Structure 1
Amino acid sequence: MIIPALVQEIAKGNYICCKTPINLQGYVLGNPITHVDFEINFRIPFAHGMSLISDELYESMRIICKGEYVSVDPRNTKCLKLVEEYDKCTKKLNYEHILKPPCEKINTQEISPDCEYYIYYLIDCWANDESVREALHVNKGTKGKWQRCNWTIPYNHDIISSVPYHMNNSLRGYRSLIYSGDHDVKLPFQATQDWIKSLNYPIIHDWRPWMIKNQISGYTRTYSNKMTFATIKASLRVST
């Protein structure tokens, strides 16, 4: 969520006189959180599209809940019951990859290679390897143990939506690639597509497959603001 704001700050800094500008060309984001409450509502149409809930349940939720499945009016008891039914159908799923069984988020050597979080363990080992740090020109002693998610940083959580930052970066002419794993119910690709469409930029290259060695690896679309959206077929949630 903070990357678009960070890009904007770098861009502003590049206009300050007498400073060496950062060679900023654009940014890449995978399954980016943009507006949390808004995006979670897309889990229901995603679940329906993936046949995780029935047509009847989806239609009832759509009509009775009126698109709001998170902050449900407590007086709307019918909607609350439908949300319970949805939870019963999906609570045992791996929300980050519906084709895989759930696994615990642990960063130890005991983590199973079959768990998708194993890659985070490998990244941790790689980033803290001295030869890697030397290759990346990290000066010795300037950085302690690298952490993928450092929750101790005292952020001010004051960005409700990052869409305005995406808009500002587009107006400055920066390229962006926004991609989504298409089997991630935690942050569905429909939610990402929806905020991209809200920018109201014309489509330059319409929906089409992208290939690796003659196999479809996902689908993509390009907009006039130099923003490209892509899906990664049968992929999990991978944030960049």
Structure 2
Amino acid sequence: MNIPRPCSVFLYSFLVLSCFSIAQIHGSQHSHALSRLYKSKLNSESAGIDTKPFEVILHANATSIHHPQEGLKEKDRIKSLPGQPEVNFNQYGGYVTVDKRAGRAFFYYFVEAENQQAKDSLPLLLWLNGGPGCSSLAYGAMLELGPFRVHSDGKTLYRNRYSWNHAANVLFLESPAGVGFSYSNRTSDYDKSGDRRTAADNYVFLVNWLERFPEYKGREFYISGESYAGHYVPQLAQTILHHNKKAKKTIINLKGIIIGNAVINDETDTRGMYDYLATHALISDEIAKKVQKYCDFSPNATNQPKECGDATDAADKATYHIDIYNIYAPLCTSSNLTAKPKKASILKFDPCSEFYAYAYLNRPDVQEVLHANVTKLTHDWEPCSDVITHWGDSATTIIPLLHEFMDNGLRVWIFSGDIDGRVPVTSTKYSLEKMNLPIKTEWHAWYLSGQVGGYTQVYEGDITFATVREAGHQVPSYQPARALSLISHFLDGTSLPDTTRYA
């Protein structure tokens, strides 16, 4: 089993090698495919600052994006996943067609709220993982915020008592086509992936999914995600706003977005990463000074000097034998499954969990119950795509979209696990500084169970920034209780607790 890590994407060739080396640590042969993705972005002529709406309908009438949904909800109902403990909530899995002519369809997994009496009042929350090309079913649902985690036997599940369906009805989406169980009958689609296509298809998915689940039409809707979903989430949000305005009515009742350890602004993301590595004693001061002196991370920079490449190569080498996504976490030392499940704890994340999820989601009985149409796929299910070999467009920044959301009254939260070295807290802080926002509430600690859960600062315009203490790139994996507290306060529109008395 070869499991890739969801490397975040930057537009600099030396970071291609960085993600490649990290993938090697985890035994991934898919690093070659991911490397091609990064190189395709480097050569993309459409990269740059893009503030245009992410149009969905280019040459078609708005009604053409709707596909019949009658009777499909019940067909998608999952009575019970193989090896799962008993639960009281409903769950669904299946496909929504986003392009009938191409035969392009996205796979989703949906869990209603844990409290069935409250599910009709709780919001709908969409979760997107990044990559680009990594699965929200693999990471979000099975390793982070979903209701179950996979035992070390790869056959049975145990409950995540900090699942986000305590706070919302949660929808996990595998996109774009070629990711996870999502597919296209037109294989050339896999070479046309990019930010714009993904935003368009995600919007068509949502419009049709809401027809299939009409009880969620008009429900408060929020979009969440991490890593390269720092592009996916805002771009989908902008698409929704655009079509609501175009239709002069609320098609989707979007209220806010929340993104974690997110790719926001290439220049500050990259500079912040090297500053983080230096300040956390992972690279030497000499390497850090050379990066600062010789590397130009601005959007229009070309032809980095050899000294820059040498310095960043040295940084890669220095971090080769750690998990850059959680700089203090142990590495997985064996990908082997166990005959009997090892003792598992939600509060102590197993670094080999990805192998367990891989084995579980490739079981034929699991795929059958999920309603995954594996005969349409040209490959086995993988947590990160090995068929998407080109990423067509990627803006260098999404900061203009955040300003647009402020103007439209959307709630925006940005959070950072503070021991992620790939898209670290320094990167996010630098990106927020570029927005030049007045501070509404000064930097202070927030609490959970009498302990500091992290730190937070609120800006004018309803943008909240929060750190999550002792969390890596995938925050809910490492700090599930703090992550649940964070999402609960976000959805409620309440401030994080600033005293131990209310924590």
TM-score band by shorter chain is 0.7 to 0.9
Task: Tell me what 2:277 maps to.
Answer: 47
RCO higher in 1 or 2 (8 Å CA, sep ≥ 6)? Answer: 1
1:34 aligned onto 2:264? yes
Change (3 A) 1:73 1:210: same
Aligned residues: 223
Shift of 1:158: 4.2
Contact 2:270 2:297 in 1 (8 A): no
Shift of 1:170: 1.4
Structure 2 unpaired stretches of 5+: 1-230, 343-348, 375-380, 477-503
Structure 1 distance, partners of 2:383, 2:406, is: 28
Amino acid at match of 1:102: L
Amino acid at match of 2:451: Q
Shift of 1:16: 3.8
Task: Tell me what 1:207 maps to.
Answer: 443
Shift of 1:150: 6.4
Contact 1:72 1:79 in 2 (8 A): no
1:198 aligned onto 2:427? no
The CA deviation string for residues 94-123 of structure 1, in whole angstroms up to 9 with x for no partner, is 01001113349x8x967996216549939x
Structure 2 distance, partners of 1:120, 1:77, is: 42
The CA deviation string for residues 210-236 of structure 1, in whole angstroms up to 9 with x for no partner, is 110110111111111101111111111
Contact 1:43 1:188 in 2 (8 A): yes
Paired residue for 2:318, among 89, 93, 107?
89
Contact 1:31 1:189 in 2 (8 A): yes
Q: How does 1:4-153 map onto structure 2 within 5 Å?
A: 4-17=234-247, 19-36=249-266, 38-62=268-292, 64-65=293-294, 68=297, 73=303, 76-103=305-332, 114-115=350-351, 117-118=353-354, 121=357
Amino acid at match of 2:281: S
Contact 2:272 2:430 in 1 (8 A): no
Paired residue for 1:171, among 393, 407, 424?
407
The CA deviation string for residues 145-203 of structure 1, in whole angstroms up to 9 with x for no partner, is 89876676897534332222122111111111111111111111111122222122111
Q: How does 1:172-191 map onto structure 2 within 5 Å?
A: 172-191=408-427
Contact 1:96 1:236 in 2 (8 A): yes
Change (3 A) 1:218 1:239: closer
SS at match of 2:283: coil
Structure 1 unpaired stretches of 5+: 134-140
Shift of 1:20: 4.5
TM-score (norm: length of structure 2): 0.38
Amino acid at match of 1:90: T
Change (3 A) 1:91 1:213: same
Change (3 A) 1:158 1:44: closer
TM-score (norm: length of structure 1): 0.74
Amino acid at match of 1:215: Q
SS at match of 2:245: coil
Contact 2:454 2:468 in 1 (8 A): yes
Amino acid at match of 1:226: D
Tell me how large the CA RMSD over aligned residues is.
3.8
